[in-house]
Copies of this chain bind each other. A is one copy, B any other.
Amino acid sequence: MQSLDDSRLLVRIGAAVRARRKECGLSQHQLALLSGLDRTFVGGVERGERNLSVITLHQISKALDASITLFLQDK
């Protein structure tokens, strides 16, 4: 069962992915292509709605040329 704390983590990850994607000047579609994911899945990740796996987050981080830890910083 997903706790409030867990939901906050997903929202935080999503916001960090969106911020980094925009920094890179990429659309969700382009990020999806680069990371081998579906565009609607990327949208769900950015909205904090997806409990993604560490490998999927790793693929996103490689596509955004960032360390995976960037998306998990405790702000």
Chain A residues with a Cβ under 8 A of chain B:
2, 5-6, 9-10, 13, 51-55, 57-59, 62, 67-69, 72-74
Copies in the complex: 2
Minimal beta-carbon separation of A18 from chain B (angstroms): 16
Q: Could you tell me if A67 and B58 are in contact, using CB atoms closer than 8 angstroms?
A: no
* Inter-chain contacts of A72 with B (CB < 8 A): 54, 67-69, 72
The answer to whether B54 and A9 touch across the interface, beta carbons within 8 angstroms, is yes
| Alpha-carbon separation in the docked complex, A58 to B74 (Å) | 12
Provide the residues of chain B in CB contact with A74, threshold 8 Å: 67, 69
Q: Which residue of B lies closest to A69 (CB)?
A: B69
Q: Which of A10, A58, A74 has the most CB of B within 10 A?
A: A58
